[in-house]
Structure 1
Amino acid sequence: MIYAGIDIGSITAKAALIKNNRLLGTHVIMTGYDPINAGIKVFDALLKQSRISKTQISAIISTGYGRASVSFADKALTEIICHGTGAHFMNPEIRGIIDVGGQDSKAIFLDQEGQVENFAMNDKCAAGTGRFLEVMAKALEVDLELLGDFSLAADKPSKISSICTVFAESEVISMIAKQERRENIIAGIHESAAARVAILANKIKIKKPVMMTGGVAKNKGMVNSLENRLGFKLIVGDLAQENGAIGAAVLASKL
């Protein structure tokens, strides 16, 4: 039997298929302004990509910021549970997860069976999230996907003192006016964001090995800043962005 997981995030929508405890495939699209339509589109695209019909799907679990918008799902679960399950499925040795999403950041501590033992979440402020990086990329007129490469070319990271996204953006604009190197400003942005996320990880006394999930895991500069803050290497898989959807599919197979 085949099971599906759909993760509707604030920036991207992801879908995954599981069969016989094996990952069949994943797909990612932009969520846009219509999470209901995004859920339908990403699911249909994955089915077409995998050459599977809807009638072959035994159960579907939705997760993420827009999980309630997936009306055809059998059940909706939180990102905490799904990211924990997804990380354990991909690597049973994982004990900690750092998930940096579009609207929030999470640090999760798993027990040896892959069950969530503790977690901390930053959901009241955009600082330390994908949205924070998106705002800064726009201010610097740099493609979001290129932030990591720019950051790694820095020689002296700029100091971003504000923890509020709005005030931090004002700081960045002032630095641009003073003609500070763009690479240094971006490195400073990553260090500021990493500091916020590290607080969450330390709060729950996260244990190694730690996997980083979410779309921001593709940003090498952010990963590097987090590793420096935490004092250890993070595991970043090729499917870090799809981890929540994978976990949702695994949990669907247990319904």
Structure 2
Amino acid sequence: MLVAGIDIGSGTTKCIIVDGDGHVRGRAAIRTKADFEKVSQEVLEAAKAEGGLANEEVAYVATTGLGRYAVSFRDIQITDLTCGARGAATVVPSTRYVLDIGAQCSRAIKLREGGKVKEFHMNEKCAAGSGGFLERAAKYLEVTVADIGPMSLRAGKPQAISSVCAVLAESEIINHISEGVSVENILRGIHNSLADRALSMLTRVGLDGDVTLIGGVALQEGMVAALREKLGVPVHVPEHPHLTAALGAALLGLQRLRKMSMATAA
């Protein structure tokens, strides 16, 4: 029995396939396209291929993320808050708070027992607190997204980015470039700014324990370093942080399928 969790985000669509014991059998991530149905099918096939499951049938599909309602072959849709919480608590059992920095928005989640959401706070009014802002900054600075993390770590004197508005922050970055500030110092300044926003969100949900960072931005070493410096609590990063919500969706889908099977058997 195989269950798939598909997370359709604004930047990337991810898929995790688990077996009946909850073990990961396949995983994949591809760029999100305008056709959510098509990209979901593509990432599912990619995850099956990655796990050598091309000839096996997926019994149940759980979707989450921005496009979770747009997939006709889904069996259930689950909020990304719920999936991110479950996935983070599964891979890092000591997790008390989840920080999810995605391409479109950021969120801080306080957990209760069982990896369930107790309280949360979101920043979705301005892109300056999201991964999408980092991508645009990379274009201005003429570096790849993959280079952002290691370059940020090499900063000697981080340049503060004080604007809370994405448009103004971009203007601030351009000004720093014209003043000759190094790319490394600008990038670390951006990471520090994101870390400040994260601290504000986490404080609102009562930060006092371990944080697990998920989402694509967690792949950037400089962002992780900035958070560990700012938060003052242990910050954990899963092996595949960008796939955490997809994992949560798959596990919750498996849980639902088991309940349905038990009800049918009874």
Scaled by the length of structure 1, what TM-score is found?
0.96
Q: Structure 1 residues 173 and 65 mapped into 2: Cα distance closer, same or farther (>3 Å)? A: same
Deviation at 1:200, TM superposition (A): 0.8
Q: Confirm or deny: 8 A CA contact 1:107 1:206 kept in the other structure.
A: no
**Counterpart of 1:254 in 2: which secondary structure?**
helix
Partner of 2:106: 105
1:233 counterpart = 2:234: yes
Structure 2: how far apart are the matches of 1:121 and 1:247?
A: 19
- Cα deviation code 1:99-146 (max 9, x no counterpart): 100001011111122111111111121112111111111111111111
Partner of 2:252: 251
Q: What does 1:164-243 correspond to in 2, within 5 Å?
A: 164-243=165-244
Which consecutive residues of structure 1, in runs of 5 or more, have no partner in the other structure?
none
Alignment match, 1:6: 6
Deviations 1:77-96 (A, max 9, x none): 11100011111221322111
Amino acid at match of 2:222: G
The residue aligned with 2:31 is 30
Range that drifts further, 32-41 or 154-163: 32-41
Contact 1:97 1:211 in 2 (8 A): yes
CA displacement, residues 198-220 of structure 1 (integer Å, 9 cap, x when unaligned): 11111101342211000000011
- The equivalent residue for 1:17 is 17
Q: Following the alignment from structure 2 to structure 1, what is the Cα–Cα distance between the partners of residues 87 and 164?
A: 31
| Distance in 1 between residues matched to 2:154 and 2:54, nearest whole Å | 47
Identity of aligned residues (%): 39
Q: What is the CA distance between 1:33 and its match in structure 2?
A: 3.3
SS for the counterpart of 2:194 is helix
Deviation at 1:58, TM superposition (A): 1.9
1:130 match: 131
Matches of 1:164 and 1:62, distance apart in 2? 32
Tell whether 2:117 aligns with 1:80.
no
CA distance in 2 between counterparts of 1:143 and 1:21 reads 35
Does the CA contact (< 8 Å) of 2:27 and 2:48 recur in 1?
no
Q: Distance in 1 between matches of 2:11 and 2:232?
A: 29
Q: Which amino acid aligns with 1:80?
A: L
Cα separation, 2, equivalents of 1:48 and 1:24: 10
Residue by residue over 1:38-88, the C-alpha shift from the partner in whole angstroms, topping out at 9 and shown as x without a partner, is 111100111222233576322111001111222111111111000111112
Does the CA-based 8 Å contact 2:13-2:31 persist in structure 1?
A: yes
Which segments of 5 or more consecutive residues in structure 2 lack a partner in the other structure?
257-266
How well do the aligned residues superpose, as a CA RMSD in angstroms? Answer: 1.4
For residue 15 of structure 1, give the secondary structure of its aligned residue in structure 2: strand
Structure 1 segment 89-100 matched on structure 2, within 5 A: 89-100=90-101
Q: Which runs of 4+ in 1 moved over 6 A?
A: none
Q: Distance in 2 between matches of 1:54 and 1:208?
A: 44
Q: Which residue of 2 aligns with 1:49?
A: 50
User: Residue 62 of structure 1 corresponds to which residue in structure 2?
Assistant: 63
CA distance in 2, matches of 1:238, 1:146: 19
Distance in structure 2 (CA, Å) of the matches to 1:124 and 1:102: 13
> How far apart, in 1, do the equivalents of 2:201 and 2:25 lie?
33
TM-score of the superposition, structure 2-length normalised? 0.92
Q: Which moved more, 1:125-134 or 1:52-61?
A: 52-61
Q: Is the 8 A contact 1:39 1:69 kept in 2?
A: no
Q: Which moved more, 1:85-94 or 1:95-104?
A: 85-94
Instruction: Specify the code of the residue in structure 1 equivalent to 2:202.
Output: A
Structure 1 stretch displaced more, 239-248 or 57-66:
57-66
Conserved? CA contact 2:208–2:233, under 8 Å? no
Count of equivalent residues: 255
State the Cα deviation string for residues 199-242 of structure 1 (Å, max 9, x = none).
11111013422110000000111111111111123111111110
